[in-house]
Structure 1
Amino acid sequence: MKNNILKLIKSKGLILIFILIITLPLFQNYTQLFNDKLLNEKKKQTVNPTYNKKEPISKYFSEKEKYFGDTFGFRDYFIRLSNYTDVNLFNKSPSKDVVIGKNDYLYSSEELNDYNRTNTLSDEDINKIANNIIILQNNLKNIGINFAFTVAPNKSTIYPEYMKTGSINPNDKSNLEKLEKVIAEKSINYIDYKKLMLENKDKYALYYKRDTHWNNIAATLVGDELIKTIGSFYDLGEFSIKPIDIKEKFRQCDLDDLLGIKTPILENTSTPDIKFSKNKLPKTLVYHDSFYYNVLPMLDDFFVQRIDLHNLNSPFHSTFDQFSQNTEIVVFEIVERYLGNLLNYDFNVFNDDLSKIKDYSSTSLNLDIKNPNNKAVSKDIAFYPYSDYMGFASLSKESSITWDVNKENANYILLEFENVPKYENLSLAWADENGDLKENQIANFILSPQKTTYLIEIKNPMEITKLRLSLGNKSNVNLNLKEIKIIN
């Protein structure tokens, strides 16, 4: 009898536990009694739908199901448990953004192309990036500003030994290796952080194991190298920057955030020991990404003034003019895995220089679209002729001007503007001898208030028969155009 009672209690107990497990999420969902938000998910929060009689009820239930799936009680705990199981038991990444390595190392999947030497930039693209940088360096030099360019190396570039598999193409060159070679040839003022890291990796742990970034030890070495480089332009005086008090400490790391788990290990960190110079560096603009977040704050007292600008959120072309007054130094830093972004990065806030073209001939277009002798077609354009330039204003998203050209051989097209009021996105297209406007025959560029002359290169020189200038895909774009030249 006693055994039967125990069996009954056990069976009922299991049923009660099961009911408790499946009802707890519902209880939490409606009471929010516990704080169960553990994950830092980078997705739009699902909105609780309201029933609309005018819409099918199936749509309401579908949206409600999606909402419940994203918000049910203890959801984050279940996801974290699943992720812990994947990572620690099956050694598998639950996120496409994270690569699991050896010895507790994690890597960003954005590094894989560089590590494997796959989908790398062509030599032509690398040369274009380097040319843009040297043009910037020379333009800045002409107005009395010193320049330094640098790249923060990927973690897998410094610690390839902790990747689980070897590089697919180990004998090929990565984007950084290609760029460094051209940088040396063009005498770009370059701070070589890759060399710095490789020289110090046996002495220090330089990158967080569970994060994409270098740690405070590396940041201190980087800060020292930065001040040495830009300080060489001036009589800065003696200084020293070195890492001390090196220890292990808990830090929640960004790759673990992407995995949805807590960082399970202690990470190496340090304190910077700094002896500041007696003299200070002049006003400096630093364009950077997140790799400089733990570098720049420790260096504040080396500068009379320093303005830090994110190289994507506050790009060079839209901020330099605003902050350039009295600036004597510009630094540009970017992480290795984003070098491809420099291919179309707009450094050029200075007028393009025709002097680099030797022995050219040119033909000027008649910009007066109302002239009966001019073969020009405008679409949704207001036209205002002035004595020194022609004014155009867009009236719709499809506003454009097309000029017929008498089969001119073209290597470049020069556009000169007057009184540029604000930034605008423009595009210039050219038609081949058959009159066809093709996708690979378009140049997109940003009209900048501090720049009036634009030299558009035609990569594959050809006979052109038409030019089409499109005004920014929006209305109320105002242009004062002085000249368009076709250059051969």
Structure 2
Amino acid sequence: MKIRVLYKANAILTAIIFLVAIFVPFFISIIENDKQVSKVEKRVLSKRPKLPYTIEEAKKFPKLFNTYYSDNFGLRDWLTTYYKLVKYNLGDTPSQDVTIGKDGWLFLGSIKKGYNRNDDPVGDYRNTNLYSQKDLEAFANYMTDLNSWLNAQGIEYLFVIAPNKHTIYANKLPDYIDKVNKYSATDQIIEHLRKHTDISVIDLRQKLINQRDKQQLYYKIDSHWNHYAANIAQYEIMQEVEKRFPGKIQVELKELKDKKRNGAMDLATLMGVEFPADIDPQPIFNKSCIPTRAINANDNWPKYYTMLCEGQKLKTLIFRDSFFVALEPYFSRKFKQVTYVWEKSNYLSLIENIKLDKPDIVIEEWVERMLPFVPKGFNTLTKKKIFNNSHQLIFSNDWNRLKISSHINIIDNKDSFHLISTKDDPIIIFPSLPFKKNTKYILHIKIKSSVDSILQVFYSDNNQQNYPYSEKNTVQSYINKGDNDIYILLDYPNLGKHLRLDPIVEKGEIFIKILEMKKI
């Protein structure tokens, strides 16, 4: 009898708990106003759908309401917080973008198959994201063009790679994450630039690894370095600046005082879990200027702004990302004028800022997880200017003289060359062109593509007897889905008369609006 009573009481209690779990969130969602943003998940929540007035709206309404209610039921943030806390304490990450390491260290990214968010820093550590040989050459060409263009105006250039946290604190990554290749994209690019160019590239990895056991250089619960690492980084960069401008900048390591930091830590925010305060050292700036912010028409902090420091001698223009936040206090006190631009260098921005600021040196910083990345050709706009100044046109939109591969369907060839390729590698062959030895030409292509792809121009060697095209005699350009305006320099002393254009490398639809060749 007693057992039956206990069994019945247990069943009733279970039913009550179940009903409370079902109806309490429902009633709270009725009482409370809907939130626009979840403070726990840091995202915009779905809005309540309007009542349907048509059959089509009625069909969509259940799905829309389900999405809305999933985002707005009562106690959702509270339940989500404790769900994430339980997962973390069980050793499982509550965020697809965070990997739990050893000793309380968190790392951006994931080893899960198919993960490609946040530039895949775990894949970078494992050396799975690598440059092809062509991409290495394209990167080196970009850097060489940029450096030469700046040097011609009396401006120095430094390229800085800020290491991923995974690179410096590999010993804190979980044991199941291992390397699959010997070299990383950073190894590739540094070796290639130093071997084949005169670009000044600053590699901070070994300096930081040597210091990691003496000081905590990166935040445990954030993806960025702290001032211990930034102090070392600024010292290494300033040494390179001083080599180019002897006596014009003081190179020194600053003293730091220990502090703690709560909140605004990116990995902790992604996890949705509260952590103890992290170490947050702060530099001590005695006997230095107090930097002032210049107000100008382009001021748009933090994306673009200028700092001034009386008593210093040099001006610099810095293209940067979030890793430069910790470097700013040092640079703002070491340069007479420093302009920070939160983007990668590009021709238009350089033209504008060099005209305004007249810098002595351009410094560009990329975080390691940006690699492998190949910027679009720096000298596109310079080639455009050269092309427009030339009047020696040798080919211009003569669509009827072009030959195409069999798997290309011509839709229109009047105002533009509208093509659909049903297979990979569509090929367009130019008529025989009057190329001359030791002469430069520029091919201008205005093209709209249905896919992101690679455009290739194959040129022949004047001495070649057999098939005129080969991979070694090719120029490539990345094209985006949509409109593209491309200028390709053909600077080959023994250029033959044969020319081939592969507008994309896969099947797709293209509109070639302009196809012109000029001698320059």
Length-normalised TM-score, structure 1: 0.72
SS of alignment partner, residue 146 of structure 2: helix
User: Partner amino acid for 2:230?
Assistant: A
Deviation of 1:243 (Å): 4.0
RMSD: 4.7
Counting matched residue pairs gives 432
Are residues 181 and 202 of structure 1, via their aligned partners in 2, closer, same or farther at CA, if it must alter by over 3 Å?
A: same
Find the counterpart in structure 2 of residue 49 from structure 1: 49
Superposition pairs for residues 167-178 of structure 1, below 5 Å? 168-169=178-179, 172-178=182-188
Find the counterpart in structure 1 of residue 135 from structure 2: 125
Maintained 8 Å contact 1:217/1:243:
no
User: Partner amino acid for 2:144?
Assistant: I
Find the counterpart in structure 2 of residue 320 from structure 1: 350
Deviation of 1:57 (Å): 2.4
Are residues 268 and 144 of structure 1, via their aligned partners in 2, closer, same or farther at CA, if it must alter by over 3 Å?
A: same
Find the counterpart in structure 1 of residue 220 from structure 2: 209
Find the counterpart in structure 1 of residue 258 from structure 2: 246
Maintained 8 Å contact 1:175/1:339:
yes
Deviation of 1:63 (Å): 1.1
Superposition pairs for residues 299-338 of structure 1, below 5 Å? 299-312=331-344, 315-325=345-355, 326-338=358-370
Q: Work out which of the residue numbers 356, 368, 379 in structure 2 matches 1:348.
A: 379
- Higher mean Cα deviation, 69-78 or 294-303? 294-303
- Higher mean Cα deviation, 322-331 or 227-236? 227-236
- Higher mean Cα deviation, 126-135 or 26-35? 26-35
Superposition pairs for residues 245-284 of structure 1, below 5 Å? 245-262=257-274, 264-274=275-285, 275-276=287-288, 279-284=311-316
SS of alignment partner, residue 23 of structure 1: helix
Deviation of 1:49 (Å): 1.7
Residue 39 in 1 paired to residue 40 in 2? Answer: yes
Are residues 323 and 454 of structure 1, via their aligned partners in 2, closer, same or farther at CA, if it must alter by over 3 Å?
A: farther
Instruction: Report % sequence identity.
Output: 22
* Structure-1 separation of matches of 2:58 and 2:207: 63
Maintained 8 Å contact 2:442/2:518:
yes
Superposition pairs for residues 86-485 of structure 1, below 5 Å? 86-89=87-90, 91-109=91-109, 110-165=120-175, 168-169=178-179, 172-185=182-195, 186-234=197-245, 235-238=247-250, 240-262=252-274, 264-274=275-285, 275-276=287-288, 279-312=311-344, 315-325=345-355, 326-341=358-373, 343-348=374-379, 351=382, 366-369=394-397, 379=413, 381=415, 404-406=430-432, 414-415=441-442, 430=457, 443-444=477-478, 454-455=488-489, 464=498, 467=501, 483=518
Segments of 5+ residues of structure 1 without an aligned counterpart are: 354-363, 382-393, 418-424
Deviation of 1:119 (Å): 3.7
Are residues 78 and 85 of structure 1, via their aligned partners in 2, closer, same or farther at CA, if it must alter by over 3 Å?
A: same
* Structure-2 separation of matches of 1:111 and 1:408: 49
* Structure-1 separation of matches of 2:380 and 2:224: 31
Find the counterpart in structure 2 of residue 68 from structure 1: 69
* Structure-2 separation of matches of 1:156 and 1:371: 53
SS of alignment partner, residue 62 of structure 1: helix
SS of alignment partner, residue 67 of structure 1: helix
Maintained 8 Å contact 2:249/2:334:
no
Q: Deviations over 1:268-320 (max 9, x none)?
A: 111112354884243322111111122214432333322212225xx523411
Maintained 8 Å contact 1:351/1:453:
no
Are residues 29 and 404 of structure 1, via their aligned partners in 2, closer, same or farther at CA, if it must alter by over 3 Å?
A: same
Are residues 465 and 16 of structure 1, via their aligned partners in 2, closer, same or farther at CA, if it must alter by over 3 Å?
A: same
SS of alignment partner, residue 323 of structure 1: helix
Deviation of 1:39 (Å): 2.0
* Structure-2 separation of matches of 1:107 and 1:295: 21
Deviation of 1:406 (Å): 2.4
Length-normalised TM-score, structure 2: 0.68
Deviation of 1:208 (Å): 0.8
Deviation of 1:6 (Å): 12
* Structure-2 separation of matches of 1:108 and 1:462: 50
Deviation of 1:133 (Å): 1.7
Are residues 83 and 426 of structure 1, via their aligned partners in 2, closer, same or farther at CA, if it must alter by over 3 Å?
A: closer
Find the counterpart in structure 2 of residue 358 from structure 1: none
Find the counterpart in structure 1 of residue 299 from structure 2: none
Deviation of 1:160 (Å): 0.8
